Amino acid sequence: MSSNRVIYTPIGIIHSEHRFREKTPIQPKYAQECVGQAEIFPEFVDGLRDIEAFSHIYLLFHIHQADPAQLIVKPFLQDEAHGVFATRAPCRPNPIGISIVELIRREGNILHLKGLDILDGTPLLDIKPYTRRFDCVTTTRNGWQDAIDEETAARLGKRAYNDSRGNKP
């Protein structure tokens, strides 16, 4: 890797019911019932002005419990290896995660969220509003994921979370 360094300062911390990565839902779609908060540090609170006008937000975060980087991985949906950049695997050269979550309400420096698939204690790097005007894209190709039916994806995506609660997927 290059000697150039990029340093980020967290703007907050995620609080969620997810304590163990192997018991955390995979992707927000499979975490719809999961709630939590983003606690924004005091020096960044002014940046929250008008955020409550949006129903959904992007959370960009540091995947602080990611395994070391791998360039070839087997994603949870398949036993076939793919390049890490063709997956959402957390073991990336820069372990940055992104989730679109529902913003329930804001109370001062606390954002109450739904659809949270993020571990408790995760450093929050940035927040961006989700907007249908700019972000809603109808895809035509979904790579290797087109080979996976939704029933299988849902079952596997919820498996870890359901196992942690004693539920059957």
Distance, in Å, from the CA atom of 53 to the CA atom of 158, rounded to the nearest integer, reads 30
The DSSP result for 32-75, as a single string, is: TT-EEEEEEPGGGGGGGTTGGG-SEEEEEEE-TTPPSP-SEE--
Q: Read off the pLDDT of residues 106-136 as tens digits, 9 standing for 90 and up.
A: 999 999 999 898 899 999 999 999 998 888 7
SS3 call for 116: coil
Q: Classify residue 155 by its DSSP letter.
A: H
Helix (H) or strand (E) holding 69: none
Quick check: pTM over 0.85? no
Say yes or no to pLDDT of 161 above 60.
no
Q: Read off the pLDDT of residues 27-58 as tens digits, 9 standing for 90 and up.
A: 666 667 889 999 999 999 999 999 999 999 99
Residues found in the chain: 169
pLDDT for 91: 84
CATH classification number, 12-130+141-165, choose in 2.40.30.70, 3.90.76.10, 2.30.40.10, 3.20.20.70 = 2.40.30.70
Domain positions in the chain are: 12-130+141-165
